[in-house]
Amino acid sequence: MPSLFLPLNENRTNRHVGFYAIAKTRQPVQVSDLRADPSYVEGDPLPVAGVEIAGIRTVLLVPMLKENELIGVIAIYRREVRPFTDEQIALVTNFASQAVIAIENTRLLDELRQSLEQQTATADVLKVISRSTFDLQTVLDTLVESAARLCHADRVSLRLAKDSLFHHVASYGYTHEHRELMRSQPFKAGRESTAGRAVFERAPVQILDAMADPELAARARSAGARTTLGVPLLREGIPVGVLTLQRRIVQAFTD
């Protein structure tokens, strides 16, 4: 029995067709003959592709619900007109419930793993600080490396304020040439860089795609940066530094 995962758009449920009704009803939806369904007759691209390309005739969609929130759909189909029985629908519904439990367990385990990683990294940094009272560079190097590892960033840099400029003091993931370039180019607060914006706004600033930002595109293209995050280091509300994280792909940093 072939299986099919179908994207649903809740904004289109007002058409009252089988493929979208599930988003409204949160109940299993069966279309006995997709070729006869109004969505196919009216030329909706999704059912048309299902019939013409995949040969779908009878299709059953079962919602995956987490506290009545639709988080996914299990869809099964037949290439002949032969409706699924109540027992078969109940079986797939049970599968959907088990899948939701598995997804939730995976999420909880992942959160636990991340929490343990963060606690371990924090402990590592504190150990370095306690052992390196007179070695600030070791502490800063540990901070940028920990930030890169925990936040899955390709590169991390740290700049500290001096004479109204922010100077490069530590980094992770950059080439030697790029590090030397950053050392030679301190910057002021402003909109020309993610770090500059974070300093100017005195708050974390995330740019989902730096290459799509006219003010950042040239710098981002030369550095190969896509998603960037700037976090200011504040002392009594005054920026004394800024931490910048970069990814080479467009992928937002989580809260």
What's the confidence (pLDDT) of residue 93? 93
Choose between 140 and 219: higher pLDDT.
Answer: 140
Could you report the per-residue pLDDT of 171-217, keeping only the tens digit for each?
A: 999 999 989 989 998 888 888 889 999 999 999 999 999 999 888 87
What's the confidence (pLDDT) of residue 18? 58
Q: How confident is the model at residue 14 (pLDDT cuts 50, 70, 90)?
A: very low
Q: Quote the DSSP letter at residue 85.
A: P
Q: HSE of 225 in the Cβ direction (CA atoms, 13 Å)?
A: 28
Rounded mean pLDDT of the chain?
86
- Cα gap 200→212, rounded to integer Å: 21
What's the confidence (pLDDT) of residue 133? 65
Q: What CATH number is given for 3-83 in this structure?
A: 3.30.450
Mean pLDDT score, 14-26: 65
* Structural domain spans, the chain: 3-83, 153-246
What's the confidence (pLDDT) of residue 132? 67
Q: How confident is the model at residue 24 (pLDDT cuts 50, 70, 90)?
A: confident
The residues facing 241 across adjacent strands are: 160, 233
Q: What CATH number is given for 153-246 in this structure?
A: 3.30.450.40
Residue type, 173: G
Burial 178-192 (b: 16+ CB within 10 A, else e): beeebeeebbebeee
Statement: residue 3 has pLDDT above 70: no
pTM over 0.95: no
Statement: residue 100 has pLDDT above 60: yes
What's the confidence (pLDDT) of residue 245? 96
Q: How confident is the model at residue 12 (pLDDT cuts 50, 70, 90)?
A: very low
Taking CB atoms within 8 Å and a gap of at least 24, the contacts of 68-74 are 68/26, 70/8, 70/10, 70/22, 70/23, 70/26, 71/100, 71/103, 72/5, 72/96, 72/99, 72/100, 72/103, 73/5, 73/6, 73/8, 73/22, 74/3, 74/5, 74/99
What's the confidence (pLDDT) of residue 233? 94
Could you report the per-residue pLDDT of 154-172, keeping only the tens digit for each?
A: 999 999 999 889 999 999 9
Mean pLDDT score, 4-29: 61
What's the confidence (pLDDT) of residue 19? 56
What's the confidence (pLDDT) of residue 71? 87
- Cα gap 59→89, rounded to integer Å: 11
Could you report the per-residue pLDDT of 69-93, keeping only the tens digit for each?
A: 888 889 999 999 999 999 999 999 9
